[in-house]
Amino acid sequence: MSVARENLRMVGKLVVIAVGMFAFGYALVPLYQKICEVTGINILALGERQVPGAPKGLPANTQIDTSRTITVEFDANARGPWEFRPTQRSVQVHPGQLTTVMYEFQNVQNRRMAAQAIPSYAPRNSAAHFNKLECFCFNQYTLEPGEKKEWPVAFVIDPRLPKDVTTITLSYTFFEVGAAMPPAPTLPGPTS
């Protein structure tokens, strides 16, 4: 057998292997999806398709307590010359229901500023049951002169909130971070 013929035969084998690898890679995605669908693995990644056995449409959140309604009031306090307020004063929510409320902030100063918000809750025992999933209070922000922003607060009230709590007040105090501090007072030294 000649060397050319052996080389041609080897190239043929390599082409068959390359085509087989490509076909396997191409078939792997639908095969993986089918295995996950059958076994129930990775069910959160099904996306717009329904979970097997679930009713058509979006499945209901069974963790929402529709027998109770909580009034959540929003308050905003600014420690400095800027505007800070919620876009709505209150909402009615059921425990377990995801709710999003927006807050507006505007730097009305003629200089750049960095600021952060600190939350507080009333009554105090509601703080442990007020779960924020997204909040501007998690970060510091820098705003240019005159810049205006809207920031979300996405929250869920834990259904284990005591039954006697029917109103929660979420209050934010927005204050400047890194502002120039006045110098410490000097104490008179010893006189000799």
| Model pLDDT for residues 71-111, shown as the tens digit of each residue | 999 988 877 778 889 999 999 999 988 899 998 988 888 88
Whether residue 183 lies inside any domain: the answer is: no
83 and 167 belong to one structural domain:
yes
Whether residue 182 lies inside any domain: the answer is: no
172 and 98 belong to one structural domain:
yes
Beta strands in 5-147 (DSSP E): 70-79, 83-86, 90-93, 99-106, 113-122, 130-135, 141-143
Tell me the percentage of the chain whose pLDDT exceeds 90: 18
What's the total number of domains in the chain? 2
Angle at 69 between CA 56 and CA 169, to 5 degrees: 125
Confidence of residue 125 (pLDDT cuts 50, 70, 90): confident
**CATH code, 110:** 2.60.370.10
85 and 31 belong to one structural domain:
no
Whether residue 75 lies inside any domain: the answer is: yes
Instruction: Tell whether the torsion through CA atoms of 106, 109, 115 and 121 is positive or negative.
Output: negative
- Mean pLDDT across 141-161: 88
Report d(CA 138, CA 118) in Å as an integer.
9
29 and 89 belong to one structural domain:
no
Residue numbers of the domain that contains 37: 3-46
22 and 102 belong to one structural domain:
no
> pLDDT value at position 46?
45
Confidence of residue 12 (pLDDT cuts 50, 70, 90): very high
83 and 162 belong to one structural domain:
yes
Whether residue 131 lies inside any domain: the answer is: yes
36 and 119 belong to one structural domain:
no
Which residues lie below 8 Å from residue 140, measured CB to CB, with a gap of 6+? 114, 115, 116, 177
Whether residue 53 lies inside any domain: the answer is: no
Residue of 186, 174, 145 whose CA lies nearest to 84: 174
pLDDT mean across residues, the chain: 79
| Strands 70-79 and 167-176, bridge-based pairing | parallel
> pLDDT value at position 80?
74
Whether residue 65 lies inside any domain: the answer is: no
Whether residue 96 lies inside any domain: the answer is: yes
Angle at 12 between CA 6 and CA 17, to 5 degrees: 125
